[in-house]
């Protein structure tokens, strides 16, 4: 707090704000619900996102005692942001990183289930080894990317409802490295086997009181070495004990990949998350429960039984007539397309395309037919009509009036994705570059190992750029500039800059980048202040490398 006599050597670092249950942070968006522990310069909390109606995990990052802001907090945030490139079931998704003058907040998905301390209070040696596979996978992927996971405290780990350990409160401190991660994996396994934590707690842990407490300190022998799990715990197999002790040693096993391999050998293969669709809302295990929430073993079944409409606790309601109409139109269009394809296939099978044998694969023949149809349509639209001297001037004047050529002013641009999407809305800071009138600046997506979209291998369904206009108006033309060919996107209107799902937007048109740009002419524009460019396919930049760079998006009415 500084020298009370006024003769101190310099200004003291400010005291981080006191965090209490029920407190509001980040402009009132997040309500603090439960302390989950912490280390020096970091505090872990369960919170409720009041805007989206869901639980989140917050890691508050502050300068260390004695540091001037932002001190080491900037490095912690930078290293944690780098972890967003690591995709693994053992690492909670980072939803947002909020930076301030003195530190910041890392917002991650809340992991329903229980804390490591709660799990260690009831050790289950039979499931302990399999529980750490995802965590070892996350550490391995971080190591491959040249990063550290920062697995230094039991407070950072939660177990899912199906018993998988997950790093839920990421915050990579200075000095974190692969060796420390390997020891952290051993410590988590030891705790699940015996109920005790075998490593020293990080500095500053005593300043935080997690609601579930912490695992007790592991007993040590006369040589001050941690006792073998077979001695401390009950029912621990020698094989599991050897795995824990070798990993905990930090020198016998030097790689997270080795730990992952050893775990897979013990349990017969990877232990992955079950791909079950669940609502993005508060969980029902651990912490304060909402009125009427189901607790205990029935909690998982409750998720499947309760309908979800976007806001937790709200009941399902029929869609409005306009939405219903659009759905019928989509179904009718899809059915018509299916009929056309079936007719073409049957015609080919019956020899209708000339009556002679043809060794060309059916897919190529259909592609040729589609290209011919597109060429025919193009020639019809570009072929000049016979000149009509009497009507030439009038037609030209009408076409000039119909051509959207009045620029639409954009107030701001941000990145957006549905609340249920994996990952985070990426590179939002550079999003305004697409509307600055300068094609030498750009916005870029992250690079993915698999194409985005609705394929099973896709990490997320799409990436959005949300344009906020100066006022409500009808946008009739969108021109997107990019050097990445085959980038596909949809133009959608929205009633707000932060819709929670695509269902809250209306599709106005689609486009595909060819030769550096794509133009979408909107035949039936809607008056709105918010316009979404929803990217559904990225360009290809290499083997297993998909991304998109957008230099400019021009709007006209």
Chain mean position to CA 43: 22
Element (H, E) at 266: helix 256-267
As a whole number, mean pLDDT of residues 445-465 equals 85
298 confidence band (pLDDT: 50, 70, 90): very low
- Among the listed residues 156, 176, 109, 163, the one whose alpha carbon sits nearest the alpha carbon of residue 134: 163
For the cut 80, the answer to whether the pLDDT of residue 397 exceeds it is no
Cis amide bond preceding 170, omega within 30: no
What does 166-222 look like in DSSP terms, one character per residue? Answer: EE-S----TT--HHHHHHHHHHHHHHHHHSEE-SPPPTTGGG---TT--PEEPPB-T
* Identical fold between 23-267 and 410-556: no
Locate all alpha helices (DSSP H) within 14-167, ordered by sequence.
73-82, 116-120, 125-131, 133-144
The fold for domain 23-267 equals: Transferase(Phosphotransferase); domain 1 (1.10.510)
Residues 6+ apart with CB under 8 A from 104: 61, 73, 77, 97, 98
Nearest to 479 by CA among 377, 403, 414, 382: 403
Whether the per-residue pLDDT at 180 is higher than 60: the answer is yes
pLDDT above 90 covers what percent of the chain?
Answer: 55
Contact status, residue 518 vs residue 548, Cβ threshold 8 Å: no
Angle between helix 321-349 and helix 362-382 axes, rounded to 10 deg:
120
Q: What is the mean pLDDT of the chain?
A: 79
**Distance between CA atoms of residues 64 and 322, nearest Å:** 55
The pLDDT confidence band at residue 335, using thresholds 50, 70 and 90, is low
pLDDT per residue as tens digits for the range 254-291: 788 888 988 888 887 677 665 444 444 444 433 333 33
Q: How many CB atoms lie within 10 A of CB 115?
A: 29
Q: Where are the beta strands (DSSP E) in 379-526?
A: 410-416, 443-444, 463-474, 477-482, 488-494, 505-512, 517-521
Domain 410-556 has CATH 2.60.120.260: yes
Lowest-confidence pick of 54-63, 158-167, 336-345, 364-373: 364-373
What are φ and ψ of residue 507, in 5° steps? -75, 130
Evaluate if residue 1 carries a pLDDT over 50.
no
Task: Give the domain ranges of the chain.
Answer: 23-267, 410-556
Q: Which of 68-72, 93-97, 491-495, 497-501 shows the lowest per-residue confidence on average (mean pLDDT)? A: 68-72
Gap between the Cα atoms of 495 and 498, Å rounded: 9
**250 Cβ partners below 8 Å, 6+ apart?**
179, 180, 182, 183, 186
Ramachandran angles phi, psi of 131, nearest 5°: -65, -25
Strands 488-494 and 443-444: unpaired
Q: Is 39 helix (H, G, I), strand (E, B) or coil?
A: strand
């Amino acid at each position: 707090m500084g020298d009370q006599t006024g003769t101190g050597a310099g200004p003291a670092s400010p005291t981080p704000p006191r965090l209490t249950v029920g407190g509001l942070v980040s402009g009132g968006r997040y309500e603090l619900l439960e302390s989950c522990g912490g280390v020096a310069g970091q505090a872990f909390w369960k919170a409720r996102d009041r805007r989206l109606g869901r639980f989140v995990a917050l890691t508050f990052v502050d300068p260390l005692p004695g540091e001037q802001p932002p001190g080491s907090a900037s490095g912690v945030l930078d290293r944690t942001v780098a972890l967003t490139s690591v995709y693994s079931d053992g690492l909670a998704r980072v939803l947002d990183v909020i930076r301030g003058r003195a530190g910041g907040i890392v917002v991650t998905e809340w992991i329903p289930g229980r804390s490591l301390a709660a799990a260690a209070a009831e050790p289950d040696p039979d499931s302990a080894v399999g529980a750490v596979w995802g965590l070892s996978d996350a550490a391995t992927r971080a190591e491959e990317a040249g990063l550290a996971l920062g697995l230094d405290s039991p407070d950072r780990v939660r177990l899912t409802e199906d018993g998988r350990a997950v790093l839920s409160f990421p915050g990579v401190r200075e000095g974190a490295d692969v060796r420390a991660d390997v020891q952290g994996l051993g410590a988590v396994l030891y705790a699940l086997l015996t109920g005790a934590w075998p490593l020293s707690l990080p500095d500053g842990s005593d300043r935080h009181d997690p609601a579930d407490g912490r695992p007790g300190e592991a007993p040590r022998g006369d040589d001050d070495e941690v006792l073998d799990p077979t001695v401390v715990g009950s029912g621990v197999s020698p094989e599991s004990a050897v795995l824990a002790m070798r990993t905990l040693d930090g020198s016998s096993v030097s790689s997270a990949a080795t730990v992952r391999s050893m775990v897979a050998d013990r349990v017969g293969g990877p232990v992955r998350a079950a791909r079950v669709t669940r609502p993005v809302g508060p969980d029902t295990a651990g912490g304060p429960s909402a009125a009427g929430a189901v607790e205990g073993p029935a909690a998982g079944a409750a998720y499947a039984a309760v309908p979800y409409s976007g806001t937790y606790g709200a009941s399902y309601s029929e869609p409005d007539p306009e939405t219903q109409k659009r759905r019928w139109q989509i179904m009718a269009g899809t059915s018509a397309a299916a009929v056309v394809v079936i007719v073409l296939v049957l015609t080919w099978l019956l020899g209708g395309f000339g009556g002679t044998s043809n060794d060309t694969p059916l897919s190529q023949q259909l592609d040729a037919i589609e290209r011919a149809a597109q060429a025919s349509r193009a020639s019809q639209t570009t072929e000049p009509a016979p000149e009509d001297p009497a009507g030439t001037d009038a037609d030209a004047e009408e076409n000039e009036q119909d051509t959207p050529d009045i620029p639409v002013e954009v107030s701001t641009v941000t990145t957006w994705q549905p609340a249920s999407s994996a990952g985070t809305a990426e590179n939002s800071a550079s999003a305004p570059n697409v509307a600055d009138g300068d094609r030498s600046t750009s916005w870029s997506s992250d690079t993915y190992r698999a194409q985005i979209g609705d394929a099973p291998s896709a990490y997320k369904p799409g990436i959005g750029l949300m344009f906020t206009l100066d006022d409500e108006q009808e946008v009739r033309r969108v021109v997107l500039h990019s050097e990445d060919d085959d980038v596909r996107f949809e133009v959608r209107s929205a009633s707000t800059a932060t819709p929670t799902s695509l269902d809250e937007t209306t599709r106005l048109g689609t486009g595909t980048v060819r030769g550096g740009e794509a133009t979408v002419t909107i035949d039936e524009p809607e008056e709105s202040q918010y316009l979404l460019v929803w990217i559904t396919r990225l360009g290809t930049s290499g083997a297993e490398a998909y991304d998109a760079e957008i230099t400019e998006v021009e709007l006209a009415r």
